[in-house]
């Protein structure tokens, strides 16, 4: 019996990147995973080839069950319909992973510089609407399908560097909004035995990063499986409520739970 056999998971932004890596690892642990995103066969986004159908197939091939559902998580109608479908098909959700994000600068106007006053307002909209707003709206519809069986885990993908600005100002505000949201969710959901944890990957070798050739100065990178294994570790921990409300680094979770990246290493946190 796989550790998450019979569990129902939802992963947003799962056509590529961290979402895909998380969906794959949940599948390896035996979960049924609703794979969500906007990129489908014949209608991809950001000039990328990856699709949610590919991710769902990967979940199934790893021993879980992948279910691809197109969903724009900035659309209330799409999100409401999605959870209506899950309620009809399974009646509950055990794990929600929010990993959708619209802040990829390669798909937005470049502006006239990198200072906040030089950036187009599209950057703010992309990072805040297809970020904290999408997380909150998705969780709002997911919670009723968790609290009815008095159990659940919400994982919010985020980032932070203590006492530093993470990336640019808009990005930093978006990530810290997610971190604060996680704390507020944990407080309000405690009485329903639902935990909310913000998980912070390091410098991941996503498809976009690999194609661009970018990387940190010290060369420390990790695969998207690393954050996926962090989510599985949280989902299989009966005492996960001890971390509810916290923002935790994947690298710290690796040491706490004893998992590694695919090459057997435990990459250190990214602090650039």
pLDDT the model gives residue 7: 98
The residue to which tokens 């978006």 are assigned:
174
Q: How are beta strands 8-11 and 32-37 bridged, if at all?
A: parallel
Q: Which residue numbers in the chain have pLDDT < 50?
A: none
CATH of the domain at 159: 3.40.50.720
Is 271 a domain residue? no
Angle at the Cα of 146 from the Cα atoms of 141 and 148, rounded to 5 degrees: 110
How confident is the model at residue 120, as a pLDDT? 83
Pick from 112, 99, 108: which is nearest to 47 by CA? 108
pLDDT at 160: 80
* pLDDT number for residue 112: 64
pLDDT at residue 272 in the model: 58
Q: What is the 3-state secondary structure (H, E, C) of the chain?
A: CCCCCCCEEEECCCCCHHHHHHHHHHHHCCCEEEEEECCECCECCCCCCCCHHHHHHHHHHCCCEEEEEECCCCCHHHHHHHHHHHHHHCCCCCEEEECCCCCCHHHCCCCCCCCHHHCCHHHHHHHHHHHHHHHHHHHHHHHHHHHCCCCEEEEEECCCCCCCCCCCHHHHHHHHHHHHHHHHHHHHHHHHCEEEEEEECCCECCHHHHHHCCCCCCCCCECHHHHHHHHHHHHCCCCHHHHCCCEEEHHHHHHHHCCCCCCCCCCCCCCC
* 264 within some domain: no
* Cα dihedral across residues 207, 211, 214, 216: positive or negative: positive
Q: What is the pLDDT of residue 125?
A: 86
Give yes or no: 135 in active site.
no
The predicted model scores a pTM of: 0.90
pLDDT at 258: 97
What is d(CA 174, CA 178) in angstroms, rounded to the nearest whole number? 6
Start-to-end CA distance of the chain, whole Å, equals 41
Closest to 55 (Cα-Cα) out of 81, 37, 31:
37
Q: Which of 257, 202, 245, 256 is nearest to 225 (CA)?
A: 202
Alpha-carbon span 223 to 142, nearest angstrom: 28
What is the predicted pLDDT for the residue at 69?
93
Residue 229 lies in a domain: yes
Count: domains in the chain: 1
In a domain, 1, yes or no: no
Let me know if residue 2 belongs to a domain. no
Per-residue pLDDT at 14: 87
The answer to whether residue 270 is domain-embedded is no
Does residue 265 lie in a domain region? no
- Residue 263 in any domain: the answer is no
Within 8 A by CB and 6+ apart from 93, the residues are 8, 9, 10, 83, 86, 142, 145, 146, 152
Q: Which of 135, 170, 171, 226 is catalytic?
A: 171
pLDDT value at position 91?
95
């Amino acid at each position: 019996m796989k550790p998450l056999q019979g569990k129902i998971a939802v992963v947003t932004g799962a056509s590529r990147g961290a979402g895909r890596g998380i969906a794959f690892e949940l599948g390896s642990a035996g979960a049924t995973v609703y794979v969500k995103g906007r990129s489908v066969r014949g209608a991809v986004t950001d000039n990328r080839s990856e699709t949610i159908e590919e991710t769902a197939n990967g979940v199934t091939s790893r021993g879980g069950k992948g279910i691809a559902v197109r969903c724009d998580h900035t659309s209330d109608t799409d999100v409401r319909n999605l959870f209506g479908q899950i309620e009809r098909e399974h009646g509950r959700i055990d794990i929600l992973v929010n990993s959708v994000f619209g802040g990829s600068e390669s798909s937005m106007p470049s502006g006239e510089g990198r200072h906040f006053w030089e950036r187009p307002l599209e950057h703010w909209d992309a990072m805040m609407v297809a970020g904290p707003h999408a997380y909150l709206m998705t969780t709002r519809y997911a919670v009723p399908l968790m609290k009815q069986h008095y159990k659940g885990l919400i994982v919010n993908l985020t980032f932070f560097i203590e006492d530093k600005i993470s990336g640019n100002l808009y990005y930093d505000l978006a990530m810290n909004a997610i971190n604060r949201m996680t704390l507020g969710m944990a407080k309000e959901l405690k009485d329903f035995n639902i935990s909310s944890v913000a998980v912070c990957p390091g410098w991941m070798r996503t498809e976009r990063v690999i194609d661009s050739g970018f990387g940190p100065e010290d060369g420390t990178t990790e695969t998207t499986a690393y954050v996926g294994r962090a989510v599985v570790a949280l989902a299989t921990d009966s005492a996960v409520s001890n971390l509810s409300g916290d923002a935790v680094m994947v690298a710290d979770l690796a040491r706490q739970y004893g998992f590694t990246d695919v090459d057997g290493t435990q990459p250190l946190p990214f602090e650039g």
